[in-house]
Structure 1
Amino acid sequence: MFFSLIIPLYNRPEEIKELLSSLTRQTYKDFEVIIVEDGSTRPAKEVIKGFEGVLDVHYFEKRNEGQGFARNYGFERAQGSYFIVFDSDILVPEEYLAMVKEALDLQGWDAFGGPDAAHESFTPIQKAISYSMTSPFTTGGIRGNKKHVGQFHPRSFNMGISREVWEKTGGYKLSRRSEDIEFSIRMINAGFKVGLIPEAFVYHKRRTSLPQFFRQIYNFGKGRIDIAQIYPKELKPVHALPAVFTIGVIGVLVLNMVDMLLFGDAIFLHYLVWFGNIFLVSFIVLLLLHSTSETKSLKVGLLSVVTAFTQLMAYGFGFIGNYIDRVLLRKDTSC
């Protein structure tokens, strides 16, 4: 089996260098690397040249259209029988391709997805973000978990498709924002065998600051409504939980202020505030203890509380805002 690794790139020359370095250590050698520079203002051409002769690497430049169409551009030029899509901000374990081949030989997946993890070299904030994106208390622990809710949808930071899937589906139809979920749903609806390879994980750096992380997750929330406009049955009650959490947190904060202004004279309101505060404090303690136990770091545990609230509320704000725009006001905010 010959793999084509497709990597869209936008203004990340430092990250692609780390990714390519990790690929030089793969134990399975039958693969090519296709890098598609998607209209970057900081191109990585010179970085890529440093890996010529070490990797079978091919570099292409195109105008900026978004990561979905950049991947399609790579598919069109790929020589492999199986395509694997990576984000540029990952590191790939040495046995990754070997484990993927073994799983494909055994299961015969037409398309697959794999989980992500935090590398020991990551900064505390990167580890905290990784925790919040995989925690049972934020995402339900469904990313990379066999016991996920509903049909598994591979995500583009770590997914693979057969050449047949590309040829029959035409690849990504959306350029940005939830483009991978739409593609996964379409593959499944077309009858392809899609599954999870839990062992095929990558180390995912994600966003390196809270504002960047907030913007990314905010768009995830908006994207869920975009998907629902195309596939209404794909919007489940579980997808609205971050929005409920967001409304709840804001509600508790507002009630606290009202309660203070009334000096606690409204007994029912006072007890409602008390229960809300108990819930929030309990949730914070639960996050802190679990993250500290999982990461073996109190600092990461404390940061995980911040990143978890950032994640849930960013998704909630994006979900609520786009629901109002697209469902209630009938605006077209898709991208």
Structure 2
Amino acid sequence: MKFLIIIPAHNEENNLPFTLDSLQRQNFKDFKIVVVNDGSTDRTSEVIKRYTENDGRFETINLQKSAHQPGSKVVAAFKKGLSTQNLDEFDVICKFDSDIILEENYLQTVANAFIENPDYGLVGGLLYVEKNEEWVYEGNSNKHHVRGPMKAYKKECFLQIGGLRETLGWDNIDAILLQNSGWKEVVLPELHVKLIKVKGADYTIKPADYYGRYFYFLGLNRFLTYVAAVKEAMKVKSPSFLFQIISSYEKCKSQNLELKITKDEKKVINQQRWNQFKKKWFKT
């Protein structure tokens, strides 16, 4: 198996060396890395140069500065890197973040999982963050969902779902679509991925506005959005948080903002969420 690893990077001079070093230390060697320097204004380009000059498996492309928005920016950068490569040469396509540290056996373990399980379409480990000088499970998502910082797709699966979408919620849209196409999303809990930077730290969008926009661009209908909004509001014990989420969602809907999914894909996503709702509340 050969891996194509695309790493979008924006002002990551302090974090990127840890990511690239951990990839160089992999006991699995058959990979190619494209670091997409996404309008960095720090020394990210100098960091990348140290690797591209000394390791033929590393390449880079440079993009102009763009607005830093959740979802769309990082996927746009990923797709720019992807477009420079001949996908016929690869078996696995990875979207990795520029602030993670992988165990030395990470790629080999993922490769073995794909080889031994032909129906695996998306594989990854679990995210860990540093707290009180210890690495602990991040816990922001269920342990059966491969998080955005370390996505590894079997190429056939990646192509079948139409790649990644430049939108908020892309890292849930992919999972829903691939499962609907008969592929499996699998988390390997023995693989610990260290996340250096807390996600969302660079975003200026407010949490309630984020959730409202996320539910809209995910394609959820009103009922499912309101149910999800109640769930998020209950977590923070704030009725106002609920109404702020709904307001954000309705604002997007009134503006008829463009979705990056088709009508059929929207139906699939809503059906999947509805099935989850029924399973939880009606035990069906």
TM-score by length of 2: 0.72
* Alignment-derived partner of residue 235 in structure 2: 245
The alignment status of 1:202 with 2:193, answered yes or no, reads yes
Extract unaligned runs of 5+ from structure 1: 146-151, 252-315
> Within 5 A, what are the aligned runs for 1:256-335?
317=241, 320-327=243-250, 330-332=253-255
Matched, 1:34 2:41: no
The separation in 1 between residues aligned to 2:154 and 2:230, in whole angstroms, is 33
SS in 1 for 2:19: helix
Percent same amino acid at aligned positions?
21
- The residue aligned with 1:89 is 99
The one-letter code sitting in structure 1 at the alignment partner of 2:235 is: F
Are the aligned partners of 1:117 and 1:203 in contact in 2 as well (CA < 8 Å)? yes
Contact 1:326–1:333 (CA under 8 A) maintained in structure 2: no
Query: Per-residue deviation at 1:165?
Result: 2.7
Alignment CA distance shift 1:229-1:204 (3 Å):
same
Unaligned regions of 5+ residues in structure 2, if any? 67-71, 259-284
Equivalent residue, structure 2, for 1:111: 122
CA distance in 1, matches of 2:201, 2:155: 38
Contact residue 126 and residue 205 of structure 1 kept, 8 A:
no
For residue 181 of structure 1, what is the aligned residue in structure 2? 172
* Aligned-partner Cα distance in 1 for 2:223–2:84: 35
How many Å apart are 1:69 and its aligned residue? 1.5
- Deviation track 1:47-95 (CA, whole Å, cap 9, x = no partner) reads 1121132361110112336001111222223442101111111111111
Using the TM superposition, name which of 217-226 and 104-113 deviates more. Answer: 217-226
**Which amino acid counterpart does residue 222 of structure 1 have in structure 2?**
G
Tell me what 1:59 maps to.
60
Name the CA distance, whole Å, in 1 between partners of 2:226 and 2:76.
28
Rate the CA distance shift 1:329–1:19 in 2: closer, same or farther, 3 A: closer
Aligned to 2:277: none
Taking a change above 3 Å as real, the CA distance of residues 19 and 322 of structure 1, as seen in their structure-2 partners, is: same
Contact 1:178 1:220 in 2 (8 A): no
User: How many Å apart are 1:220 and its aligned residue?
Assistant: 5.3
Change (3 A) 1:187 1:231: farther
> Residues 191 and 90 of structure 1: is their aligned pair in 2 closer, same or farther, counting only changes over 3 Å?
same
- TM-score after normalising by structure 1: 0.62
- 1-side partners of 2:154 and 2:62: how far apart? 24
Q: Displacement of 1:323 after TM fit? A: 1.7
Higher strand content, 1 or 2: 2
Matched, 1:102 2:112: yes
Given that 2:157 and 2:178 are in contact with CA atoms closer than 8 Å, whether structure 1 keeps it comes out as yes
In structure 2, the CA distance between the partners of 1:43 and 1:67, relative to structure 1 (3 Å rule), is farther
* Structure 1 partner of 2:76: 69
Larger Rg: 1
